[in-house]
Chain A
Amino acid sequence: MAEVVFDEASRIYTPGAKPAVDRLSLTVADGDLVVLVGPSGSGKSTALRMLAGLEPIDAGSVRINGRDVVDVQPKDRDIAMVFQNYALYPSKTVAENMAFPLKMRGMEKEERGRRVRQAAEMLGLTEYLDRKPKALSGGQRQRVAMGRAIVREPQVFLMDEPLSNLDAKMRVQTRAQIAEMQNRLAVSTVYVTHDQVEAMTMGDKVAVLADGKLQQYATPPELYDRPANAFVAGFIGSPAMNLLELPRSSSGVTLGGIEIPLTREVTDAAGSRDKLTVGIRPEDWVLESTDADAASVVKAVVDVVEELGSESYLYAHLAEDTATTIVVRGPGRVKVRFGDPIAVRPTAEALHVFDVESGERLD
């Protein structure tokens, strides 16, 4: 059980170059699962490796349970890590793999065996204990890697994209297992992924990183409902939020010939800017009849229809401005096809408004 604190922690590979992790500050509360998410090169893995002690911390500090670990060896940090490629020891059996961290700590053989059997039971690995990793499937290897972390009963779990080598079905299944297990063990966990669905479904809190900088650190609903900037808005959610650069009008912005009113807070915050980046989630469009009043709907032409069964996504370009494309969520059975005209209306209260230059949220 531990609280993990990143305090202005930075990793600079070459002096003078852009830091891989730039003054990262966040706190993982005791027992929470925090997901670090971001595109490749965002510094999420580097941040995790700094916490593990596999990368030096060049500036700032990282604390585990109040103890500054900048100069502490990985083995003395009381952490356990699950690697992307599992990093199982090929010459050892499943049982030996799982017992290795205990053996290295000089634990009695009997206690080691007891803990390994217990973890194996929990992970459904009992019948594979005598096998070498080579004789296991991807999902089983992943579970062995988890088991090796669990037997340690560490202060913190670190997981570096532990699901990325599994197939889609296995990933969903294992995702739930990890979340369930983490809840049961209540061990603080830092989980790195590039998959925003994993981030949203697993994290108690999610830290979105880009270019080595923390973009937003919040709970999943908060990230979705109030993204702090245009990057987070575009990164979280699938399909991504429509981010449109729109000119100001007297009381809002104009899109495809219609006027979209903005709230008072937004217009105040927008000040004298003559353009705004407006974010509209696919589900925040209302599909209207094509012969609706032209002053209240945006006309568009469908390019692609994705039918997912319970819902569908229409990818369309605006009739007036063919360079602007939008994604609209529709019902499960839509009649429209490629080339059909549609009319949509954004839900005014659900808009996200950002500064064009900085991308910062305006309200």
Chain B
Amino acid sequence: MIDRAEGWRRRAPLLPALVFTIIVTQIPFILTLFYSLQSWNLVRPGSQEFVWFANYVDVFTDSQFRQVAINTVVMTLGSVLIAVVLGLLLALLLNRQFVGRGVVRTLLITPFLITPVAAALLWRTVLLDPTLGLVNFVLSPFGASGTEWISQFPLASVMAALVWQWTPFMMLLLLAGLQSQPSDQLEAARVDGASAWSVFRELTLPHLRRFIELGVVLGTIYLVNTFDTVYMMTQGGPGVASANLPFYIYQRAFLGFDIGQSAAMGVVVVIITLIAASFALRLLFRSFSGEEELT
């Protein structure tokens, strides 16, 4: 039996870490809550006053906020799902034996290792630049030269960069899943008369289900916070066509200096994220509780 004093003596060394965590996460959050109830614009000194929930009402009536929220969902889920599909195809490829597999695998992983800012810059200039970009160069024989990818398709351009960066992650995850599939089940299916497509649909896909769920949840958690790619490629523009919530809040806080409004948006986003994340994590824990593991 450990008495209270002994308990505290043992916990004490952990206390600084706890205090530090509270200072850097909870205090800013409480301050944000406080600011979100105020009308406060930095460029108008003396404008600070309590307005209670007026900022929240504005958030839900702001048509730009709605547009940005939709952008965020499209950008996050779209990029994640496309990355999962591409990652799955590449994982299936890498799960086979072929000459040069090691080199191909390394090359395929590379996009994941590049700093997001550098990757965004690469996409904006080297790939998508209307006159000098590789994409237009490659497409020029088909009459697509001069396309202003970033201004004509801003959201799609940002998503292309995100998909490019996240496909390797999904690929690695799904490759691990593929390699954990027992080979005797595949052999049994061959003897049982299953075609390659049947084996994939009836056995491999169910086996990969939890790996796909893990990929989707992890990818969503990271990509919903995307800022650097948007900032570097489009600045959220034109208008808010390619802005997502983190970028829009940044814009309102540090370019519009509207502290109260952006704080309210931040609070709304945190609440939505908490709800979504708890559902996603429950799904994840359920599928990794070993429901389908044999032996």
A-B contact pairs, 29 of them (CB 8 A): A52-B187, A74-B190, A74-B191, A75-B190, A75-B192, A75-B193, A81-B188, A81-B191, A83-B184, A83-B187, A85-B182, A85-B295, A87-B185, A87-B188, A89-B188, A90-B185, A90-B206, A91-B203, A92-B206, A100-B192, A100-B194, A101-B192, A104-B192, A104-B193, A104-B198, A132-B292, A133-B294, A148-B188, A152-B192
Contact of B206 (CB < 8 Å), options: A52, A83, A91, A104: A91
Q: A88-B294, A104-B198, A132-B292 are in contact. Are A80 and B184 (CB under 8 A)?
A: no
With most chain B CB atoms within 10 A of its CB, the pick from A79, A85, A90, A100 is A90
How does the 8 Å CB contact mask read for A78-108 relative to B, with 1 for contact and 0 for none? 0111011101111110000000110011000
With most chain A CB atoms within 10 A of its CB, the pick from B188, B195, B198, B207 is B188
How does the 8 Å CB contact mask read for B254-295 relative to A, with 1 for contact and 0 for none? 000000000000000000000000000000000000011111
Q: Bound complex: CA of A347 vs CA of B293, how far in Å? A: 56
A258 contacts B by Cβ under 8 Å: no
Contact of A75 (CB < 8 Å), options: B185, B191, B293: B191
A333 contacts B by Cβ under 8 Å: no
B202 contacts A by Cβ under 8 Å: yes
How does the 8 Å CB contact mask read for B204-223 relative to A, with 1 for contact and 0 for none? 00110100000000000000
A100 and B202 contact, CB distance less than 8 A:
yes
Q: Bound complex: CA of A329 vs CA of B188, how far in Å? A: 44
Contact of A101 (CB < 8 Å), options: B187, B193, B203: B193
A54 contacts B by Cβ under 8 Å: yes
A134 contacts B by Cβ under 8 Å: yes
Chain B interfacial positions (CB closer than 8 Å to A): 182, 184-185, 187-195, 198, 202-203, 206-207, 209, 291-295
The 5 closest A-B pairs by CB, nearest first: A91-B206, A75-B193, A101-B192, A87-B188, A87-B184
Give min CB distance, B141 to chain A, whole Å. 42
Q: A134-B293, A134-B294 are in contact. Are A89 and B193 (CB under 8 A)?
A: no
Q: Bound complex: CA of A84 vs CA of B187, how far in Å? A: 12
B294 and A90 contact, CB distance less than 8 A:
yes
A89 and B184 contact, CB distance less than 8 A:
no
Q: Bound complex: CA of A100 vs CA of B193, how far in Å? A: 9
Contact of B292 (CB < 8 Å), options: A53, A90, A158: A90
Q: A91-B203, A91-B207, A104-B193 are in contact. Are A134 and B292 (CB under 8 A)?
A: yes
Residues of chain A with a CB closer than 8 A to B189's CB: 89, 100, 104
A85 and B184 contact, CB distance less than 8 A:
yes
Residues of chain A with a CB closer than 8 A to B203's CB: 89, 91
Q: Bound complex: CA of A89 vs CA of B203, how far in Å? A: 7
B interface SS class: helix
Question: Looking across the interface, which residue of chain A has its beta carbon closest to that of B203?
Answer: A89
B202 and A79 contact, CB distance less than 8 A:
no
Residues of chain B with a CB closer than 8 A to A89's CB: 185, 188-189, 202-203
- Which interface class (under 10, 10 to 19, 20 to 34, 35 or more) fits A? 20 to 34
How does the 8 Å CB contact mask read for A51-84 relative to B, with 1 for contact and 0 for none? 0111000000000000000000111000111011
Residues of chain B with a CB closer than 8 A to A83's CB: 184, 187-188
Q: Bound complex: CA of A54 vs CA of B188, how far in Å? A: 10
For the complex with contacts A52-B187, A100-B192, 11 further pairs of A-B residues with Cβ separation under 8 Å are A87-B182, A87-B187, A88-B185, A89-B203, A90-B207, A92-B206, A101-B191, A101-B193, A104-B189, A104-B198, A148-B192
Give min CB distance, B17 to chain A, whole Å. 40
Residues of chain A with a CB closer than 8 A to B198's CB: 104
Q: Bound complex: CA of A79 vs CA of B187, how far in Å? A: 13
Question: Looking across the interface, which residue of chain A has its beta carbon closest to that of B186?
Answer: A87
Residues of chain A with a CB closer than 8 A to B194's CB: 75, 100, 104
Q: Bound complex: CA of A148 vs CA of B184, how far in Å? A: 14
Give min CB distance, A158 to chain B, whole Å. 8
Q: Bound complex: CA of A152 vs CA of B191, how far in Å? A: 11
Residues of chain A with a CB closer than 8 A to B293's CB: 90, 134
Residues of chain A with a CB closer than 8 A to B195's CB: 104
Q: Bound complex: CA of A75 vs CA of B189, how far in Å? A: 9
Question: Looking across the interface, which residue of chain A has its beta carbon closest to that of B190?
Answer: A74
Residues of chain A with a CB closer than 8 A to B192's CB: 75, 80, 100-101, 104, 148, 152
Give min CB distance, B192 to chain A, whole Å. 4
Question: Looking across the interface, which residue of chain A has its beta carbon closest to that of B195?
Answer: A104
A54 and B202 contact, CB distance less than 8 A:
no
Give min CB distance, A146 to chain B, whole Å. 13
Residues of chain B with a CB closer than 8 A to A104's CB: 189, 192-195, 198
Contact of A80 (CB < 8 Å), options: B182, B191, B291: B191
Q: Bound complex: CA of A88 vs CA of B295, how far in Å? A: 11
A54 and B182 contact, CB distance less than 8 A:
no
Q: A75-B190, A80-B191, A100-B192 are in contact. Are A91 and B292 (CB under 8 A)?
A: yes
Question: Looking across the interface, which residue of chain A has its beta carbon closest to that of B204?
Answer: A91
Question: Looking across the interface, which residue of chain B has its beta carbon closest to that of A75?
Answer: B193
Question: Looking across the interface, which residue of chain A has its beta carbon closest to that of B295?
Answer: A85
Residues of chain A with a CB closer than 8 A to B294's CB: 88, 90, 133-134
Q: Bound complex: CA of A53 vs CA of B187, how far in Å? A: 10
Question: Looking across the interface, which residue of chain B has its beta carbon closest to that of A160?
Answer: B184
Residues of chain A with a CB closer than 8 A to B209's CB: 91
Q: Bound complex: CA of A144 vs CA of B190, how far in Å? A: 18
Q: Bound complex: CA of A152 vs CA of B195, how far in Å? A: 17
Give min CB distance, B208 to chain A, whole Å. 10
Residues of chain B with a CB closer than 8 A to A54's CB: 187, 190-191
How does the 8 Å CB contact mask read for A130-174 relative to B, with 1 for contact and 0 for none? 001110000000000000100010000010000000000000000
How does the 8 Å CB contact mask read for A106-138 relative to B, with 1 for contact and 0 for none? 000000000000000000000000001110000
Give min CB distance, A53 to chain B, whole Å. 8
Q: Bound complex: CA of A102 vs CA of B131, how far in Å? A: 59
Give min CB distance, B40 to chain A, whole Å. 56
Residues of chain B with a CB closer than 8 A to A88's CB: 185, 294
Question: Looking across the interface, which residue of chain B has its beta carbon closest to that of A158?
Answer: B191
Residues of chain A with a CB closer than 8 A to B292's CB: 90-91, 132, 134
